[in-house]
Amino acid sequence: MNKRHFLKQSALLSLGGIVSPPFFLASCKKKDPLEGASYGGKVLIVGAGAAGLYAGYILKSKGVDFEILEASSGYGGRLGKLTNFAKFPIDLGAQWLHGKKSTVGDLVSSSNTKITLDNSDSKYWYNNKLVSQLPQSVNIFEGNNLPDISYKDYAIQKGLGNDYKYIVENIAGDQGASASKLSVYYNNLEENNWSSGDDDFKFQETFYDLIDSQIASAVKSKIQLNTIVKKIDYTLSKIIITDSNSKTYTADKVIITVPITILQSNDIQFVPSLPADKITSFSKIGMGPGMKVFMKFSSKFFDQNIIGGAICAAYADESVGKSVSDNVLLAFVMGDQADYLTSLGTDKAITTALLNELDTIYNGKASAAFIAAHVQNYTTNPFIKGAYSYSTIGMGDARKIAAQSVDKKLFFGGEAMNINGHHQTVHGAVETGYREVVNIFNSL
Ligand SMILES: Cc1cc2nc3c(=O)[nH]c(=O)nc-3n(C[C@H](O)[C@H](O)[C@H](O)COP(=O)(O)OP(=O)(O)OC[C@H]3O[C@@H](n4cnc5c(N)ncnc54)[C@H](O)[C@@H]3O)c2cc1C
C-alpha cells in the first residue's frame, strides 16, 4: 500500500503532478540489454521474494546456471496468500498494483489477470467524528523547498494541530514509517521518480497468484527452501556461501535480495567486510515495523477506507475488487502504531485493541459482529523484520551506494535497492532483479 491508494481522494493532499521518465523495462519497449547475452558461470541468488524470483526467471531465460537460497519454508517473501478465511483469497503481504506501467503491469496484461481500479471512498476519523472531508485543506507535504525534517515536525511547524496527528501518521504509514522518522524532503525527492502510474489496482484473485504463476512457477525447482545464508566469502574468485547448517555453496556471482533489515543487523557475515560506505548506506535506509490484521464480521458496518485512528491510521474493506463480497476489514498498521500493537504480545491482544478502536468509531458494532481475525506481523518474521523501506532524514544517496556491486562478484537487489522511486513495491523489487542480471552481464 502507499499514499497513492489511501490519499487519492483526500481533501488533505493533492497528489497530482508526479511525472518522471519511464523505466526502461516498462511498456515503452526499448532494446533489451540482454539480447544475445550468455554466461557459463554459476549464479546464486539469496532470497526468494519478488526480486530474487525475477532475477532467477531472467537467468533461466538466458540459460544461465543458477540457484535461489531461501531462508523460510516458502517462497514469495513479502507476498503471501491466505485461503479459507474469507469467501475470497487474501493477500497477506502486497495486495495493490501501484500503477500499470511496469514489468509487473505487463505481466498482468499478458496473462489476462483480472484487476480492478481501486477507487474506494475514504472517511476520516477526525476530532472524534467520522467525516467525509477534512475541514481544512492542508497541502503542505509537497512542493518546492521542502525541509529535510520529519513529517511530524513539519506538521507541527506548519501549525497542524493535534487533531491531525493520526492523519499525518497515516500519510507516513503509507510509506511504512512513523511520522517522526519519514523525511519530507527525501520522500518527495524519491517519489518524484515514480513512473508506473498513479492508479491503484486490486487483484480479483491475489497478487501472490500472479507472481506465483508468471514468475515463481518457472524457477520453483531451483529454489532451496529452509536455507538461511549466514556467510558470504568473496575473498577468492569462487564465492563460498555458508548456511546455518554449515552447508556450503559455490558460485561465480551472487545476487543478494534480502530485506535491508537483514543487512543492517549483520545477519549475513561478509568476508572480507563490505566497503565502509556501503555499510553506512544500509543504515541510512529506513525500514520500520508493519503488520496487516484481517478481521471478519457478520455484517458490513464499516466504510471502505477509514483513516486517522489512534491504534490504526488506515483500515480498508478487503472486498473491494473481489468477485464475491465478504465482511472483512483490513487494519494496515505501520510505524509507531505497529510497534505499539506488537508490544501487546499476542494476536488476541492486538485484535482486541483494534476492535476497541472500531467500537469507538462505530458505536460498539465491531465487537458485536466480530467473528475471527488473522494477524500477519512482518516485524516479527525473522527473515523480514519490518514492512518496507522508507526515506530517512539525511539519507542522501544511500540507496545508490547500497545498490552498487562489489568486486564484480556481489550484486544487490530487493525493493530497498530500487533507485527509480519504486522502492516499497513488488514491481520495484522485480525491476532490481532484472537490473542485477544486467549488471552481472555488464561485469563480464
Ligand atoms: C504489509 C505489506 C503490504 C505491502 N503492500 C504492497 C502493495 O500493496 N503493493 C506493492 O507493490 N508492494 C507492497 N508491499 C511491498 C512489497 O511486498 C515488497 O516491496 C516486495 O515484495 C519485496 O520483495 P523483495 O524481493 O525485495 O523482498 P522480500 O519479499 O522480503 O524477499 C526477500 C527474501 O529473502 C529471504 N531471506 C532473508 N534473510 C535470508 C537469509 N539469511 N538467507 C536466505 N534468505 C533470506 C526472506 O525470507 C525473503 O523471502 C507490501 C509489503 C508489506 C510488508
Q: Report the pLDDT value the prediction gives residue 136, as an integer from 0 to 100.
A: 67
313, part of any domain: yes
Look up residue 251 and give its three cell numbers: 558460485
Nearest CA to ligand 1 atom 12: 425
The bridge status of strand 229-233 relative to strand 239-243 is antiparallel
156, part of any domain: yes
CA 43 to ligand 1 centroid distance, Å: 21
Tally helices (H) and strands (E) across the chain.
15, 23
161, part of any domain: yes
Reduced to 3 states (helix: H, G, I; strand: E, B; else coil), residue 342 is helix
Closest CA to 434 of 100, 106, 194: 106
- Omega before 272 cis (within 30°)? yes
Please write the tens of the pLDDT for every residue from 297-356.
Answer: 999 999 999 999 999 999 999 999 999 999 999 999 999 999 999 999 999 999 999 999
Mutate to test the pocket of ligand 1, among 81, 245, 375, 388 (most ligand atoms within 8 A of CB): 388
CA 378 to ligand 1 centroid distance, Å: 9
Q: What are phi and psi of 366, to 5 degrees?
A: -65, -55
Number of domains in the chain: 1
Q: Report the pLDDT value the prediction gives residue 37, as an integer from 0 to 100.
A: 83
CA 133 to ligand 1 centroid distance, Å: 34
The Cα-based distances of 165 to 71, 72, 172, 308, 312 in angstroms read: 38, 37, 11, 8, 12
Q: Report the pLDDT value the prediction gives residue 61, as an integer from 0 to 100.
A: 96
417, part of any domain: no
CATH number at residue 186: 3.90.660.10
What is the Cα 257 distance to its own chain's centre?
A: 13
d(CA 127, CA 308): 10
Closest CA to 19 of 212, 207, 155, 198: 198
52, part of any domain: no
Mutate to test the pocket of ligand 1, among 258, 378, 385, 420 (most ligand atoms within 8 A of CB): 258
15, part of any domain: yes
41, part of any domain: no
Look up residue 225 and give its three cell numbers: 527452501
153, part of any domain: yes
Whole-structure pTM value = 0.94
User: Which residue is associated with the grid cell 511547524?
Assistant: 157
Q: Which atom of ligand 1 is nearest to the CA of 387?
A: 53
Residues spanned by the domain of 164: 3-19+84-90+116-192+287-377
Are 402 and 417 in contact by the 8 Å Cβ rule? The answer is yes
CA 305 to ligand 1 centroid distance, Å: 24
Pocket of ligand 1 (CB under 6 A): 1, 46-52, 69-72, 77-79, 93-96, 98, 228-229, 257-259, 262, 267-268, 290, 292, 378, 383-384, 387-388, 414-415, 424-426, 429
Task: Characterize 252-263 residue by residue with b for buried, 16 or more Cβ atoms within 10 angstroms of its Cβ, and e for exposed.
Answer: bbbbbbbbbbbb
What is the Cα 193 distance to its own chain's centre?
A: 17
Q: Report the pLDDT value the prediction gives residue 134, as an integer from 0 to 100.
A: 86
Q: Report the pLDDT value the prediction gives residue 38, as an integer from 0 to 100.
A: 87
Mean predicted lDDT score pLDDT of the chain:
92
The CA radius of gyration of the chain, in Å to the nearest whole number, is 21
Give the residue ranges of the chain where pLDDT is below 50. 1-28
